[in-house]
Structure 1
Amino acid sequence: MSRGRANRNRRAAKPKFSVIVDGETEIWYLQLMKQHEGLRHIDIKPELPKKKKMADQFELVLENDRIYDKVIWLVDLDVVLKEQAEWERKSGRSSPSPVEEFRGYFQRISSMDRVHLLVNTPCLEFWYLLHYKNTSRYFSDYNSLIREFRGTPLEDYEKSERYYKQGRQNLYQKLVTEQVAAIERASGLGEFNIEEMAQAKTEMFRLLELIRAV
């Protein structure tokens, strides 16, 4: 076999991961993670769908399941719960509710071998918080959580690409020194329970496990 063909075969064998997200902060975090971890043995594609409704994201999950070796769907649960609250305020409600819709996707994905649904409650920033604080407190939304960054290296945190990527240390470099502690704290909170959603959870550590297991 020629050297050129052998190289092509090695490239073809590189595992391909799709990571579907619902916000730009997840994209920036994943970009920095790829850069820092030097993941040359794996092809990771973060994707932010143009349409951000759960149904649209789930359709992309199904589509990518036919293409990629693994599909990881990151969900910030505060988005689901916010949509649920808005749905409950409406008259003439459609069915199913956002929570019922999410439960349906969760159950379908639980039987899919290559697809993983990972939940952050309320949002990705709870994962960041666990790098500096050991807490199981439930925060209903981003605004209630962000106050806990006071007194930590992230007390000036903002949702901007400039904050994530500029400065003497980018955000991932700031966090990675405390990552072992964050993994231990996050795993200690247990698995996400679809029947008890109002609990502090972050399953970002499982993303790291899936990537590092390759």
Structure 2
Amino acid sequence: MRNRRNIPLKRKPKVAVVVDGETEAWYLTMLNRNEPNAKFQIKPEIPQRKSLHDQFNKVLSLSDDFDTVVWIVDMDVILKETREVKKGQLRPLDEFLKYKDKLSSITNVSVIINQPCIEFWLLLHFEFTQAPFDDCARAESRLRNHLSDYAKSQKYFTKEGDDIYLKLIERLPTAITYSKRFGGFDLENPDRGNSGMYKLFEILGLS
């Protein structure tokens, strides 16, 4: 009889996703819950400290332990702080671009930008737009044109049988298609709406 202990166990690839807020973590947790047959194991990671430097270091440390690490970055705060930075200080946007460039050489790391925030990705399930959004509140307001009861709360995002992923799953192919239409984050027009979330679904084999 073959020794079963000598047969390597097949495991799902482990994907760590670094985010800076609970909203993204709730969305990813619901993605996990509603895709039980997917060939991946996804783990949302929120650094204890949420500065760009701390997020960058978190991505680096996870890249040694996970098959794939995805850093999802909301640009609203970065752009706001960039507009407010004092002359002579490092602009948060330049700091982020520096980290993004450093990570480009690590083969199992991907950086995904949402401008202004994940609500813009949710909006793409209903419409395509490249309108400027100078903060997340504007994206939330526009999203409520389609999801009138939308609430940035754990209860809304994770309600059993009616969570955020289930609400939108039939429209997911539309959102992925719209997301692919963007040519990446536009440095010349940084406020322009943008989402690279299609990359996450390609990594997970869901697009």
TM-score, normalised on structure 1?
0.88
Q: Does 1:202 align with 2:195?
A: yes
Question: Any stretches of 5+ residues in structure 2 without a counterpart?
Answer: none
SS of 2:112's partner is strand
Q: Residue 139 of structure 1 is aligned with which of 129, 133, 137?
A: 133
> % of aligned pairs identical?
37
Distance 2:189 2:64 in 1: 31
Distance 1:192 1:84 in 2: 16
SS of 2:44's partner is strand
Note if contact 1:17-1:43 (Cα within 8 Å) is conserved in structure 2. yes
List, as ranges, runs of 4+ consecutive aligned residues in structure 1 with deviation greater than 6 Å: none
CA shift at 1:123, angstroms? 0.3
TM-score, normalised on structure 2?
0.90
CA shift at 1:36, angstroms? 0.9
1:126 aligns with: 120
Note if contact 1:189-1:200 (Cα within 8 Å) is conserved in structure 2. no
Distance 1:85 1:16 in 2: 37
Aligned residues: 206
Matches within 5 A, 1:1-214: 1-6=2-7, 9-11=9-11, 14-39=12-37, 41-88=39-86, 94=89, 96-152=90-146, 154-166=147-159, 168-194=161-187, 196-212=189-205
Code of the aligned partner of 1:110: S
Q: For residues 100 and 15 of structure 1, do their structure 2 counterparts lie closer, same or farther at Cα, with a shift above 3 Å needed? A: same
CA shift at 1:46, angstroms? 0.7
CA shift at 1:132, angstroms? 1.1
Q: For residues 40 and 205 of structure 1, do their structure 2 counterparts lie closer, same or farther at Cα, with a shift above 3 Å needed? A: closer
CA shift at 1:190, angstroms? 2.1
Code of the aligned partner of 2:99: Y
CA shift at 1:42, angstroms? 1.8
CA shift at 1:128, angstroms? 0.6
Question: Any stretches of 5+ residues in structure 1 without a counterpart?
Answer: none
Code of the aligned partner of 1:28: W
SS of 1:177's partner is helix
Distance 2:137 2:40 in 1: 35
Greater percentage in helix:
1
CA shift at 1:138, angstroms? 1.8
